[in-house]
């Protein structure tokens, strides 16, 4: 395991300290939070931890089943006690960009149902202003190019220019989704989410000064299913560094 993976593992395991028996736990998606899922499975097997998990993606569901975490549908539960997830960026106000793994819609549904949100990350995700990581926006395939045009207008109005690219999976080849053609490069197919949608990656640069207003405006575009801005949700961040795991808590958050 290289240094970067070791740091991710340390943060993922440390975040498990917020979980105790009897809890209903949202299980995020991504390479860092995968270590959290594995550690929770170990605690169930070796320490008798009793929890119910709600996965945010098919990949996380598969991993949770492999390590023995009992799962339930979110609708069967009266909310969650906590969700533990990763992030692609976070700013000093604990606002996040998520969606690099393509699970932003399910992740936000789960996060909104939780009494607290804990993020696991490494130091590269800490920024002063959001946007250096391309902002993912999940959209429905119908008239996707018109939705892209509207998104570009909204971004420009909020001082966030830059290119917008359709996320691709080269291994798929030229793809057609539900009869809708996408202009893909030869050998570069379309990435399709677990919900049957596609993702636009908005290369705005670090220009997102008001993520709350931008999220609200983007969600007003009819073809937008969800935006990868997670505002006013995160309560604590377990941040991996070579010196150890730092715990950052939002001063007015639910875990303060």
> Integer distance in angstroms from the first to the last C-alpha of the chain?
33
- Distance set, CA 45 to CA 10, 38, 189 (Å): 20, 11, 40
| Separation of alpha carbons 63 and 75, rounded Å | 21
> Are 71 and 53 contacting, i.e. CB atoms less than 8 angstroms apart?
yes
Q: Which two tokens stand for residue 223?
A: 């073809």
> Which residue in the block uniquely carries the two structure tokens 């002063």?
128
What b/e readout covers 67-84, taking b as 16+ CB neighbours within 10 angstroms? bebeeeebeeeeebbbbb
107 annotated active-site: yes
Q: Which two tokens stand for residue 171?
A: 């291994």
> Angle, nearest 10°, between helix axes 33-47 and 58-66?
30
> Which residue in the block uniquely carries the two structure tokens 């505002």?
231
Q: Where are the beta strands (DSSP E) in 127-227?
A: 135-139, 164-166, 168-169, 176-177, 180-181, 189-190, 198-202, 224-227
Residue tagged active-site, from 39, 107, 138, 215:
107
Phi, psi of 118, deg, nearest 5: -115, 135
Residues known to be catalytic: 107
């Amino acid at each position: 395991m290289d240094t970067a993976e070791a740091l991710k593992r340390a943060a993922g395991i440390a975040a498990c300290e917020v979980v105790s028996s009897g809890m209903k736990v949202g299980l995020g998606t991504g390479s860092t939070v995968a270590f959290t899922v594995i550690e929770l499975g170990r605690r169930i097997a070796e320490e008798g931890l009793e929890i119910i998990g709600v996965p945010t993606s098919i990949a996380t569901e598969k991993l949770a089943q492999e390590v023995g975490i009992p799962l339930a549908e979110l609708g069967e539960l009266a909310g969650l006690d906590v969700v533990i997830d990763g992030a692609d960026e976070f700013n000093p106000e604990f606002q996040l960009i998520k969606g690099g793994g393509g699970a932003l819609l399910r992740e936000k549904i789960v996060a909104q149902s939780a009494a607290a949100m804990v993020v696991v990350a490494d130091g590269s995700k800490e920024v002063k202003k959001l946007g250096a990581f391309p902002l993912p926006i999940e959209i429905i395939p119908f008239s996707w190019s018109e939705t892209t045009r509207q998104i570009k207008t909204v971004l420009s109005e909020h001082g966030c220019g830059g290119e917008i690219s359709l996320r691709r999976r080269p291994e798929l080849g030229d793809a057609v989704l539900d009869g809708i053609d996408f202009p893909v490069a030869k050998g570069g197919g379309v990435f399709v989410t677990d919900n049957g949608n596609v993702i636009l990656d908005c290369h705005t640069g670090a220009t997102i000064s008001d993520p709350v207003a931008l999220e609200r405006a983007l969600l007003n575009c009819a073809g937008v299913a969800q935006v990868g801005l997670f505002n006013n949700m995160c309560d604590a961040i377990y941040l991996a560094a070579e010196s150890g795991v730092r715990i950052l808590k939002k001063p007015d958050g639910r875990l303060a």
